[in-house]
Amino acid sequence: MKGFVLAAGFGTRLAPLTQTVPKPLFPVGHLPLIGYALRLLAHHGITDVIVNLHHLGKQLREAVGDGSAYGVSVTYSEEPEILGTGGGLKKMHHALDDTFVVVNSDTILDVDLHAVIATHRRRRALATMILRRDPDQGSYGQIEIDGDGRVRRILGHMSPTDEKNAKEIEAVITPYMFTGVHVLEPGLLEYLPEGVETCVMRYGYMKAMNNDELIQGVVTNDYWVDAGTPKRYFDANLDVMSGRARVRYAGGLPPERESRVWVSPSADVASSAKLQAPTIVCDGVRIAEGAHVGPNTVLASGASVGRDVIVENSIILDGARADAQAVGVIVGKKARVEIVKDA
């Protein structure tokens, strides 16, 4: 079985940081976002993985390499023109010749894929979507399933057959949100056009529904986060530091220097610098004399904090420098973004 990680997007909700760093490389704790997707697949024995690339694809390729650091073997699908979730999958139709799993590179989900795949096969579904309850599910777009888990409505769209019995069906369906992880058969790709930008949901799924294909939903209560906005991205890091992100496949944080202060052995922390919990200091970080780091702070690999600088409630991205006070911000090499509540 193959895996497919969608990593070609522009990350516009995290701009201008994403103008120089692709969103899948943003660190959450000690791993880049894409690392969670790859390790989820590896944890379930899915080690043959395709990653699609467009925006800053060279950086992604260099960072992930052959995938061995995450327990997988990666093949890259370059998209000179971005193709969307549907077009990206269709481009690799020739390689996706059996059941495969699709994962977004900007979400983190801890789920038993073995159980989901078993349900997918038992039901003989064309596609199986992993769903969850969420107070904001209306803003994400709702997927509605019946008592057997069959998807009856996607983003307000029903099949023509179900439309004829809409009143009866609406009485037995329950709305959920889509986590971005799904199990697909190659047959779903037959519903997608070649060489054009398309959405797998709005195009492929809806055409399959119109043909009365079986699309299954599986509901999970396991940990999930969408790290696509500054606030949600920051919250994902808080979840790692608090232990709320119980992600069994992610691996351990750097060693704890003291309670909830994790410091990589390769970090250079000046003797007069103060670290306040919770804080994560990753590989190759340099913290100068008199600096005050934390609470609720992550210093990603190669980041640095200047002399007497205060950094709190912030994320300093890979290789970025905090030479001035950083409070409630995400700092990149060429930009910084305030962490504010999502609208």
Instruction: Give per-10-residue mean pLDDT for the chain (343 aa).
Output: 97 95 96 96 98 97 97 98 97 97 96 97 98 83 94 94 91 94 98 95 95 97 93 96 88 91 98 98 98 98 98 98 97 95 64
Question: How is residue 156 written in tokens?
Answer: 């307000």
Query: Cα–Cα distance between 279 and 315 in angstroms, integer?
Result: 10
Co-location of 76 and 168 in the same domain: yes
Residues 168, 39, single domain; the answer is yes
Helix axes 33-43, 113-123, angle to 10 degrees: 60
Are 172 and 33 in the same domain?
yes
119 in the same domain as 35: yes
Final residue in a domain of this structure, among 176, 205, 226: 226
Looking at the domain assignment, is residue 343 inside a domain? no
Contact 104, 190 (CB under 8 A): no
Supply the range of the domain harboring residue 299: 255-338
CATH number of the domain that residue 108 is part of: 3.90.550.10
16: phi > 0 → left, psi -120 to 50 → alpha, else beta; which?
A: alpha
Domain boundary among 205, 226, 247: 226
Q: Is residue 250 part of a domain?
A: no
Q: How far apart are CA 255 and CA 276, in angstroms?
A: 15
* Rg (alpha carbons) of the chain, rounded to whole number: 21
| Same domain flag for 7 and 72 | yes
Structural domain tally of the chain? 2
Q: pTM for this structure?
A: 0.95
- CATH number of the domain bearing residue 300: 2.160.10.10
pLDDT of residue 343: 52
pLDDT score at 275: 98
Where would I find the beta strands (DSSP E) of 7-150?
27-28, 31-32, 48-53, 73-78, 100-104, 107-109, 127-132, 142-145
Phi-psi region at 291: left, alpha or beta (left = phi > 0; alpha = psi -120 to 50) = beta
Question: What per-residue confidence (pLDDT) applies to 50?
Answer: 98
Query: Do 270 and 205 sit in the same domain of this protein?
Result: no
Query: Does a structural domain hold residue 244?
Result: no
Do 219 and 104 sit in the same domain of this protein? Answer: yes
- 146: in domain: yes
142 vs 217: CA distance, rounded Å: 12
Last residue of a domain, one of 208, 226, 244: 226
Query: Does a structural domain hold residue 12?
Result: yes
| Phi, then psi, of 263 in degrees rounded to 5 | -135, 125
Start-end of H helices in 218-328? 230-242
Claim to verify: residue 218 and residue 274 sit in the same structural domain: no
In terms of domains, do 202 and 271 share one? no
Q: Do 26 and 159 fall into the same domain?
A: yes
Task: Say if 76 falls within a structural domain.
Answer: yes
Same domain assignment for residues 77 and 182: yes
Residue pair 214/125 in contact (Cβ under 8 Å)? The answer is yes
**Is position 193 within any domain?**
yes
In this structure, the answer to whether residues 303 and 200 fall within a common structural domain is no
Q: Residue 251: its pLDDT value, please?
A: 85
Residue 238 domain-assigned (yes or no)? no
